[in-house]
């Protein structure tokens, strides 16, 4: 399941849907508007292997790694969100649910960095998109 935070613009969510990416949004499809970060983590643990996309940089913490979900922090402009969600979902290191689970990922125009369950330091990767 792809889940986006309530801080993602409706237009970006609709663009993802137009690209054939099934997406649900906090405060619209799940949970309620105004959920605190701790409440979002509780929600993620109740869902079946979600990948949660947010622009809230406070989620980029190693202690949030959990084998049951993935968190992706989008350090990009509000109108670039859909492009970077799709870009991560096409990246060969993250293109399946199994490859994303247990990771807290930060996306930026220059690359991807992530914490993984069991690692004590973040891994940094350049963007190497899979051709489509």
Number of domains the chain is built from:
1
> Which letter does DSSP use for residue 62 in this model?
G
Q: Are 88 and 123 in contact (CB under 8 A)?
A: no
Would you say residue 130 lies in a domain? no
Q: Are 13 and 32 in contact (CB under 8 A)?
A: no
Residue 16 structural domain: 2-125
Q: Are 99 and 117 in contact (CB under 8 A)?
A: no
Task: Identify the H or E element spanning 70.
Answer: strand 70-74
Number of Cβ within a 10 Å radius of residue 99 = 13
Nearest of 82, 99, 81, 72 to residue 15 by alpha carbon: 82
CA 68 to chain centre: 13
**Residue 7: both structure tokens together:** 């801080």
pLDDT exceeds 50 at position 130: no
Q: What is the pLDDT of residues 74-91, one digit of tens each?
A: 999 999 999 999 999 999
Would you say residue 113 lies in a domain? yes
Would you say residue 104 lies in a domain? yes
Q: What is the pLDDT of residues 91-106, one digit of tens each?
A: 988 999 999 999 999 9
Would you say residue 80 lies in a domain? yes
- Per-residue pLDDT, 131: 43
Would you say residue 131 lies in a domain? no
- Per-residue pLDDT, 120: 65
- Per-residue pLDDT, 122: 65
Please report the sign of the dihedral spanned by the C-alpha atoms of residue 23, residue 32, residue 79, residue 59. negative
């Amino acid at each position: 399941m792809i889940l986006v935070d309530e801080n993602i613009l409706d237009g970006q969510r609709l663009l993802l849907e137009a690209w054939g990416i099934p997406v649900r949004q906090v405060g619209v499809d799940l949970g309620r508007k105004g959920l605190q970060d701790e409440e979002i983590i509780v929600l993620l643990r109740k869902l079946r292997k979600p990948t949660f996309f947010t622009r809230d940089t406070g989620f980029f913490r190693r202690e949030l790694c959990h084998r049951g979900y993935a968190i992706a922090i989008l350090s990009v402009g509000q109108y670039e969100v859909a492009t970077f969600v799709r870009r991560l979902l096409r990246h060969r290191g993250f293109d399946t649910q199994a490859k994303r689970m247990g990771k807290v990922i930060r996306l930026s125009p220059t690359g991807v960095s992530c914490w993984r369950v069991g690692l004590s330091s973040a891994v940094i990767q350049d963007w190497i998109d899979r051709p489509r």
